[in-house]
Structure 1
Amino acid sequence: MRKIATALMIVLLGSLLLWGMRVDAQMHALKAPREVVWKDFLGVNAQFLWFSPERYNQQMERLKALGLQWVRLDLHWDQLELAEDQYNVAALDVLVRDLERQQLKSVFYLVGSARFITTAPPESPYQDQYPPRDPEVFAQRMALLAMRYPSVDAWQVWNEPNLIGFWRPEADAAGYARLLEASTRALRSVAPDKPVVGAGLAFFSDLPGGASMFEQLGQLGVQRLNTIVAYHPYTQLPEGNMRGSNDFALRTRELNDVLRRSGVPAIWATEWGWSSYSGPKEAQDIIGRNGQADYVLRRLALMSTQDFDRVFLFTLNDLDTRATVRDRDYGLLDLEGNPKPVYLALQRFLKITGPRLVPAEPPQIAKKIDGLYNIAWKDEKGRNLLMFWAEKGAELELPGVTRAVLHDPLTGRETALGNGSWVKVKTKPSLQILTWD
């Protein structure tokens, strides 16, 4: 256990040196470790309880139209148990039945403390953002939910405990480890066949001062619980926090490798994505609706190569003014449930690739293109696909390919290429897909 924790600390410290720093430009030929089946790999977060059943069932239909089936949903303890042993679950009962009827797979996470058991000072306006006085009571409530809703496919324990907005007055790895251990034990006693997922740690499990919560949890021996590991790799750009840094791929590759070697059963990214908000500017840069579509496709292509077992885009639908300005606009759908450019781009992307991709060797490229990302696949029919983009436009030449079709999922444009000689195509900062037999 100590060996794994030490290795993780070294990896994270090394990666932090790259965080936000530009590295020498180079080509990035990435290859996935295994096949990708989109309906199993890609899920979305959803806030169905913010909407009426009529509205959220429409959202479910939009999700299914993409060929996807996994949703991650939040449950706030203080909203479910208004006072001790006084439960407010009627709307949740309806939602779980609708999920089952729609044949969607779900992971629910329970977060926050009910008022009767919070450790918050009485005068604090953040009663639910403090951990409970007794983790066993939280664990009992998770077990009650699992018994009441046996159709739920997985249960996740808390959310982002390395952020003050979810664990006050400060992050506490030992406190969270106690909560996770109690909850895992309680859940497995009533639903032994359902996976238990650790809290999705914000970013790469970063803590104030540069420490890592994964490293601290490793020192506490949480690996013995055999829970699915999750984190939320938000960055400013699909490739990292600074143009040209490639720190997303560097950090995820190293972190996931250490997590695999620690013996975790699976690695999930339970949140990632970008808001299309128009300001005022918060932590995320303002990229607009078209930028959101571009960023999501590039990041999805990258995540498919980085040894995640499942990833959940944040989020399915835009939210109303109960959310912060930025958080209102992460959706694939607008507030009325209509497709945004990101939904349409993802729909085209999934149509081009088909439901399943198998990793392939990259084709020969005639000339080096600085900053080129390229990912090679074969689809179910054996057709070759190459996903590619580069920050600066350049001509991509493929000597071994004489005819191909160029797809732009952002616009829906398709272009036949090749006249019997090499295929040549202009790269763009946004993702394009080349297909050929």
Structure 2
Amino acid sequence: MMTHSGKRQRLIIALGAFVVSLIATLLAVDTPPAAPASGSGGPATPSASASGPRELNIGIAYGDRLTWVSDTELAIGLDDAVNSKARWIRVDLSWNNIQPDSAKNYEWQRFDRIAKAAQDRHLEVLATIGYTPKWARRSGCGGDPSCAPAHPEAFAAFAQKAAERYAPMGVHTWEIWNEPNLPFWAPKPDPAAYTTLLKSTAASLRAADKQAYVMLGGLAAVATAQSDGYVSQFDFLNAVCELGANKVVDAIAYHPYTYPHLPSEKTDFGTAFEGISSTHDNLVGILERYGTPNLPIWLTETGAATNGPGQASDGKTTPANATHVTEDLQAAIATDTIPASAANPHVAAVFWYSDQDSGTDKDKAHRSMFYGLRRYDGTPKPALAAFGAAVAAYRDKLAAAGSSASPGH
């Protein structure tokens, strides 16, 4: 027979169990999934699925080329993205182009044209914001738009103006600078100065647009070399994470050019693609060390330069000797890039650089001019069809797996 005190004790235990159960239920219902970093808006982060392939944001990177081409050439360039079933474009939004002469005047019209043409085609825009006008550069660094701003807050103020203007046109995704671990941050890379600019700019973008999605500027895959002013992607990322840069961004941008090797190829030395998560030093390991293991990685440039010195035709050439590849090997790399990117659960996006060559035969030594899916005269290389076929095959695989979500949204 139960006493009054026993009944009271049993009632207390039952009530305690009910409260614990209720709290657990509320947590399960109300707790959102962890955000990649700051928890701002922007594109969805693809995730691995046991039922099929992952979603992946796919695009073409154009650099600054579209800023200066005719309306006809702009249409051809963007239509290449549409016809390839890529849903993104990456374009430079250069401070140097918008405010070339003073802090008082803005020349938005050239980027307005790109943003409007992309919106008309339902293409998402990744804007790479960087490059300092002469009047805003550090003293002693007056001749190069890659010079760091003398005042980071001035750059952040420009970024806020850009977000206020282009968010209504659907631009919410921002990459802060391009390859800041090279002398593209002139006169030489400076992790501390870059982190200061990144923090200020991220805050300004989000103040202007609650959906702003901010990523650390695309890191070049290089070895640290003081004589060249290079800081490796691993050394640079480690340095900026030490200063908290990983806590103010939604993603890390990276440029893993692997040619003459395919992106999926495993090597003894470790390609730039393997450096995402497989080599002894890798980007994901650094992010884990600094408390952001799930921060997505966007491959905002990758590709292969064609038809020049050191040309490789079979992927077997020693990387140090291969500065260019044949057009057929470029096509094979384009074919492999999409499945290789989708296979890595840390990769959220991949952009092929670039749409069209910017040099002619006399410029063959300058490999930066020959990454295009089209030649300088506009004729397509085999890689254009190969890239489109690879994206289409990926979309078909997603559809067959019954994916209901649309990449990039």
TM-score (norm: length of structure 2): 0.72
Match of 2:370 among 329, 335, 356: 329
Where in structure 2 are the equivalents of 1:11-410 lying within 5 Å?
33-34=48-49, 36=53, 40-46=56-62, 47-84=65-102, 85-121=104-140, 125-126=143-144, 128-150=145-167, 151-164=170-183, 166-203=184-221, 208=226, 212-239=235-262, 244-245=267-268, 247-248=270-271, 250-254=274-278, 255-258=282-285, 261=288, 262-263=291-292, 265-279=295-309, 284-306=322-344, 307-320=346-359, 325-357=366-398, 379-380=400-401
Per-residue displacement from partner, 1:27-77 (whole Å, max 9, x unpaired)?
xxxxx9445467x42211023213112211122222211211101001222
| CA 171–289 in structure 1, closer or farther in 2 if over 3 Å, else same | same
- Contact kept, 8 Å, 1:162 with 1:205, in 2: the verdict is no
Cα RMSD, aligned residues only: 3.0
* Residue-by-residue CA offset, 1:280-322 (whole Å, 9 max, x unaligned): 8798522121111112223333222222011111112222469
Deviates most, 208-217 or 95-104? 208-217
Q: Residues 55 and 135 from structure 1, CA distance in 2 versus in 1: closer, same or farther, beyond 3 angstroms? A: same
Identity percentage over the alignment?
21
Q: TM-score w.r.t. structure 1 length?
A: 0.67
Aligned-partner Cα distance in 2 for 1:276–1:183: 36
Tell me by how many angstroms 1:169 deviates.
2.2
Pair 1:95–1:347, CA change in 2 (3 A): closer
Structure showing greater radius of gyration is 2
2:210 & 2:79 partners in 1: Cα distance? Answer: 31
Greater share of residues in helix: 2
Distance in 2 between the 1:228 and 1:96 partners? 22
Q: Alignment partner of 1:167: what SS?
A: coil
CA distance in 1, matches of 2:284, 2:123: 30
Going from structure 1 to structure 2, the CA distance change for 1:342 and 1:239 (only over 3 Å counts) comes to closer
Distance 2:265 2:86 in 1: 31
Q: CA deviation at 1:238?
A: 3.1
- Tell me: CA distance 1:140–1:213, structure 2 relative to 1, closer, same or farther (3 Å): same
Q: Which amino acid aligns with 1:315?
A: S
Paired with 1:326 and 1:77, the residues of 2 have a C-alpha distance of: 25
**Which ranges in structure 2 are unaligned for 5 or more consecutive residues?**
1-46, 312-319, 404-409
Per-residue deviation at 1:250?
Answer: 3.8
Aligned to 1:10: none
Query: In terms of mean alpha carbon deviation, does 238-247 or 189-198 score higher?
Result: 238-247
Post-superposition shift, 1:332?
Answer: 1.5
Q: Which amino acid aligns with 2:246?
A: Q
Task: Name the counterpart of 2:6.
Answer: none
Q: Using the TM superposition, give the Cα deviation of residue 333 of structure 1 relative to its aligned residue in structure 2, in angstroms.
A: 2.3
Distance 1:219 1:185, change over 3 A: same
- Cα separation, partners in 2 of 1:348 and 1:228, compared to 1, 3 Å: closer
Q: 1:119 to 1:277 in 2, by over 3 A?
A: farther
Q: What is the rounded CA distance, in whole Å, between the counterparts of 1:241 and 1:207 in structure 2?
A: 27
Shift of 1:133: 0.8
- Could you tell me which amino acid in structure 1 is paired with residue 162 of structure 2? L
Letter in 2 for 1:43: G
Partner of 1:19: none
Q: Deviations over 1:113-164 (max 9, x none)?
A: 1111101416x532x1210110000000011011111121301111111101
Matched residue SS, 2:196: helix
Inter-partner Cα distance in structure 1 for 2:367 and 2:120: 32
* CA separation of 1:177 and 1:72: change in aligned 2, threshold 3 A: same
Query: Which has a greater percent of strand?
Result: 1
Distance in 2 separating the partners of 1:206 and 1:116: 31
User: Which shifted more, 318-327 or 155-164?
Assistant: 318-327
Indicate how the Cα distance of structure 1 residues 380 and 336 shifts in structure 2: closer, same or farther if over 3 A, else same: farther
1:194-224 CA distances to partner (integer Å, 9 max, x unpaired)? 2011101111685647661011111112222
Measured in 1, the distance between the counterparts of 2:265 and 2:286 equals: 25
SS of corresponding position for 1:68:
coil
3-state SS in 2 of match to 1:75: strand
How far 1:354 moved relative to its partner? 4.0
Distance across 2 between alignment mates of 1:139 and 1:206: 29
State the Cα deviation string for residues 340-368 of structure 1 (Å, max 9, x = none).
Answer: 1001122333444443449xxxxxxxxxx
Question: CA, structure 1 residues 351+190, in 2 after alignment: closer, same or farther (shift >3 Å)?
Answer: closer
Contact 1:77 1:110 in 2 (8 A): yes
Q: Deviations over 1:254-292 (max 9, x none)?
A: 435325633254211111110113348798522121111
Matches of 1:228 and 1:243, distance apart in 2: 25
Contact 2:179 2:217 in 1 (8 A): yes
Cα distance in structure 1, aligned partners of 2:324 and 2:136: 39
Alpha-carbon offset, residue 239 of structure 1: 4.7
Uncovered stretches (5+) of structure 1, i.e. residues with no partner: 1-31, 359-378, 383-437
Is this contact kept in 2: 1:239–1:299, CA < 8 A? yes
